Amino acid sequence: MSGPYVPEIATDRDGNQHEVQGWQDDFYGGKLGFWLFMFTEVLMFGAMFMALAYYNTLHPQDFLDASASLNRLLGGVNTVVLLISALTMGLGLLNMRVGKVKEAKLMIWATIILAAAFLVIKGFEWRAEYNHGIFLMHDQMLPGSSLPFGQKLFFGLYFTMTGLHGFHIIIGIGLMIWLLKRINAEKVRPDHHILHWNIALYWDIVHLIWVFVFPYYYMIGAGGVTGGH
């Protein structure tokens, strides 16, 4: 796959030679293609939000009660962590675009650390919920338990969506490590940085999804009488 790019030459009927257009440096095409991929992400999470809203209309009070029982402090901290990580990712890309490769790599490392912090905090949160008997196919979530059915639906979707989002964070960490390797190998450079651009876009869509996941799960019950943790 790698190696110097050798242009293809075409000869017209008059014997003139022309270089065939190569698409290796098609920055806009690469960007547009990635936006198409992100559309599939919107479809996937959109379907989940649809299911969430659907069940919410069936069990409005259970959803408020379940939302009120989530740990808003940890959810809020994770929101800020992800927000700052979007900044570091963006600054990393900006540094790469202006030729500050070392600074760009430092910003990518900062993003990786923040992403790991997000997962650790999420892990603590899930652990606390597990200890309360609330986890997929566990204790309170089993069919015969006393937990109201609407709350089972809420928590089922909560673990599914935050789990899938966490999986995207893990994928993002992997992509950033791969990006660092590509930068070290000078395959990603200031004059050829579409990979960096698209991974930054990926990280932004992960952030964007959380911007909607957080209020729907953690905040809709914040004004309820049951309160948070």
Are 200 and 93 contacting, i.e. CB atoms less than 8 angstroms apart?
yes
User: Would you state the structure tokens that stand for residue 107, as one six-digit string?
Assistant: 């910003």
Are 198 and 83 contacting, i.e. CB atoms less than 8 angstroms apart?
no
Q: Which of 151, 188, 148, 170 is nearest to 69 (CA)?
A: 151
Residue 55 in 3-state DSSP?
Answer: helix
Under rule CB under 8 A, which residues in 105-164 are in contact with other proteins?
143-150, 153
Q: Which is nearer to other proteins, 127 or 138 (CB)?
A: 138
- Smallest gap from Cβ 212 to other proteins, in A, equals 5
Q: What is the dihedral of CA 68, 222, 48, 133, to 10 degrees?
A: -10
CA distance to 94, 167, 187, 219, per residue, from 212 (Å): 26, 17, 35, 10
Binding mask 172-201 for other proteins (x = CB under 8 A): -------------------xxxx--x---x
Selected range binding other proteins among 3-11, 109-117, 167-175, 214-222, rule: CB under 8 A: 214-222
Q: Which is nearer to other proteins, 61 or 127 (CB)?
A: 61
Q: Does the protein bind other proteins through residue 168 (CB under 8 A)?
A: no
Cα dihedral across residues 201, 206, 212, 214: positive or negative: negative
Binding residues (CB under 8 A) for other proteins: these are 25, 27, 31-32, 35-36, 39, 42-43, 46, 49-50, 53-55, 57-61, 72, 76, 79-80, 83-84, 86-87, 90-91, 94, 97-98, 143-150, 153, 191-194, 197, 201, 204-205, 207-208, 211-212, 214-216, 219-220, 222-223
